[in-house]
Amino acid sequence: MPTTDTASRKVCCYLRWKGMFIDAEPDPSIPHTQDGFFWCSHTMNCLGPDGRVADDGSCRQDRTCFEKL
């Protein structure tokens, strides 16, 4: 997961990142990679339907394509 509190920060329900698909309990002794590989599951690429970049800092309530979790 890119941050420990992404869900509580109200990101879009279409935002995806590779850490979501790791089937293991989080280990606090291992730092997050912060690799920044995000995509929009609505468009299936790195841009949202509005043409802007999909990431945990951008996919918020101020976008027209935003849908809450």
> Cα(64)–Cα(58) distance, rounded to whole angstroms?
12
State the pairing for strand pair 15-17/38-40. Answer: antiparallel
20-56 pLDDT per residue, tens: 887 888 788 887 766 778 999 999 999 999 999 999 8
Instruction: List the one residue out of 36, 42, 46, 45 whose CA is nearest residue 66.
Output: 42
CB burial of residue 38 (10 Å; 0-12, 13-18, 19+): buried
Tell me the pLDDT band of 4, cut-offs 50, 70 and 90. Answer: very low
pLDDT given for residue 7 in this prediction: 46
- pTM exceeds 0.85, yes or no: no
Please report the pLDDT score of residue 6 as a whole number. Answer: 47
